[in-house]
Amino acid sequence: MSSFDLINMALRNLWKRKLRTFLTVLGVIIGTASIVVMISVGIGMNVGYRQQIEEMGSLYVINVNAPYSSDSNSKEKVQIDTASLEKFRKIEGVEAVTPVLQEYFTLIDGRYVYDTSIMGILPETMEAMGLDVSTGRTLQEGDSMAVVLSAYAKTGFYNPKLSWQYRWNGSQSIEIDPYNDKFQITYDNNYGTKQMDKSIKPKKIQVVGEMKENGQNSYYTVMPIADVEKIVAEREKYQKSKGQTTNTNKKKGVYNSAMVKADDIDSVERIQQELKDMGFETYSLVDYLKQTQETSKMLQMVLGAIGAISLIVAAIGIANTMVMSIYERTREIGVMKVIGATVSDIRRLFLTEAAFIGFMGGLTGVAISYGVSKIINVVGVNMGRQTLSAIPIWLGILGIIFATFVGVAAGFFPAVRATKLSALAAIKTE
């Protein structure tokens, strides 16, 4: 019997018992849809995590730190300096490198001040490092005494003359105009209070942009590293003149951290490993992404297993339908055998019918899953999550194949049973 005839006959047999076929297929639809939707939620969480993480910053950027205490007996001191930065640039897949200097300065806008963490970087690398702005622009090559304000600066300025209690609660929020106000910067964190040292002269500074919110670097005010170094040098001079110990024991040209941008997400891990091999400590959002992926993989498996139970129930339904069908068609099977059907013809016929039940259930189930996934995501958006459920194409195709396979597996025992029927006994059945 040719495959064409086999399929034709199988479909006709299924069509003849429409209602039963439909109910059996319905079981598979529910089974497939619950597996696919369950797994899609697992995957969706993954996608959601990723979106959240990407929001935090670029997945391509690796933060590099010098080890806290480098081995005293190691000949070469592991530190981030011009030489090692040059080595970083030479690693394959590295697109940009910048040293990072972190400080804590005070910004001045007229009567108001804002204490901010400063990140000093090479201005031309700002865009590459994924330090996105919400307004204005990122720092560019040639920028000097320019800053991109912290995302929280707008609401962070306060009147330093007021006592602590009134700074935050008492007064209304202070309106600042980042692009028209005149800003100054100082290392004197007591500026404007009674303890301020008038001899410390703040420097004029220009705001060119504001950091995007919700990123891991949003609270930084970003400055060209050269400017930061200049201010730090002045502070050291000031502190020495006062006989104070300097609070940075920083040698010039040595930094405590750096940022490295990879050209591809897949190179991130490799570059990180190379940096680690050089003795540096590294951290990237990919590390974090990996962790969340592990978690969601577990979740996917648990959810998938829950969905699988309903598909197992559907498989039992298919087996039941096929066995019933064999009882009903005993005579028909006998007749077919007598007029020349081979054992394999009979087996293939039943397997094909079972496979079709699985296939149709799988196809419809996956189609419904896409719909359910849409609905879940609409609800998710209302709940403030971007993606709750995602069905990649491979999952859809796998769902259909799996359902078909379940059909064949469930039909196997009944099919073998059908072939074992004696042709004669089958004909004698009334």
Which stretch, 45-53, 290-298, 337-345, 390-398, contacts other proteins (CB under 8 A)?
337-345
Residues numbered 10 to 49 that lie near other proteins (CB under 8 A) are 12-13, 16
Q: Pick from 19, 339, 383, 393: which binds other proteins (CB under 8 A)?
A: 339
Q: Pick from 70, 193, 248, 342: which binds other proteins (CB under 8 A)?
A: 342
**One-letter amino acid for residue 153 of the chain:** A
Per-position DSSP letters for 52-95, written without gaps between them: HHHHHS-TTEEEEE--SS--TT-SS---EEHHHHHHHHHSTTEE
* Residues 147, 131 contacting (CB under 8 angstroms): no
Which stretch, 1-9, 136-144, 292-300, 350-358, contacts other proteins (CB under 8 A)?
1-9
Identify the CA nearest to 254 among candidates 65, 71, 63, 123. Answer: 65
Residues numbered 388 to 427 that lie near other proteins (CB under 8 A) are 423-424, 427
CB of 346 to other proteins, least distance (A): 9
* Residues 206, 183 contacting (CB under 8 angstroms): yes
* Residues 304, 38 contacting (CB under 8 angstroms): yes
Q: Pick from 2, 73, 163, 169: which binds other proteins (CB under 8 A)?
A: 2
* Residues 268, 262 contacting (CB under 8 angstroms): yes
In the complex with other proteins, the residue whose CB is nearer, 12 or 182, is 12
Identify the CA nearest to 109 among candidates 221, 212, 229, 236. Answer: 221
Q: Pick from 73, 245, 249, 340: which binds other proteins (CB under 8 A)?
A: 340
Which stretch, 67-75, 120-128, 282-290, 329-337, contacts other proteins (CB under 8 A)?
329-337
Q: Pick from 91, 335, 367, 416: which binds other proteins (CB under 8 A)?
A: 335
Task: Give the number of C-alpha atoms closer than 13 A to the C-alpha of residue 353, restricted to the C-beta side.
Answer: 32
Q: Pick from 226, 345, 386, 412: which binds other proteins (CB under 8 A)?
A: 345
Q: Pick from 87, 331, 385, 417: which binds other proteins (CB under 8 A)?
A: 331
Distance CA 332, CA 323 (A): 14
- Point out which residues bind other proteins (CB under 8 A): 1-2, 5, 12-13, 16, 331-332, 335-345, 423-424, 427, 430
